Structure 1
């Protein structure tokens, strides 16, 4: 799983999920990929999330949600 490190201080772990829709002849299937990221910020946990998602979005398209799992 890829990990992102961004500045020291607030530390958190969260899941970043995005959807890819696969269309078939008779049905529509939604595929969700979940990756784990580690973000850090001197300012706040919100900034740690924003920075990590911003970094991840440079290589991952269509990020639609984030779940914070742990803060220290």
Structure 2
């Protein structure tokens, strides 16, 4: 299970991440804070998170099976 989270001092962000089938997803103007948890059936997953927000600071966090990775 992979959880992606994005926090910003602003109100929205454009976010790219991998979905459960390991397909890149491009989400625009997502309301913040933004969390999503996905389950993958892939043998291995390299979680990727890229975000750009409308505020002065932005933070992202990736957790795999409850353990924070980035």
TM-score by length of 1: 0.35
Q: Give the structure with the larger helix fraction.
A: 1
Q: Which has the larger radius of gyration?
A: 1
TM-score by length of 2: 0.36
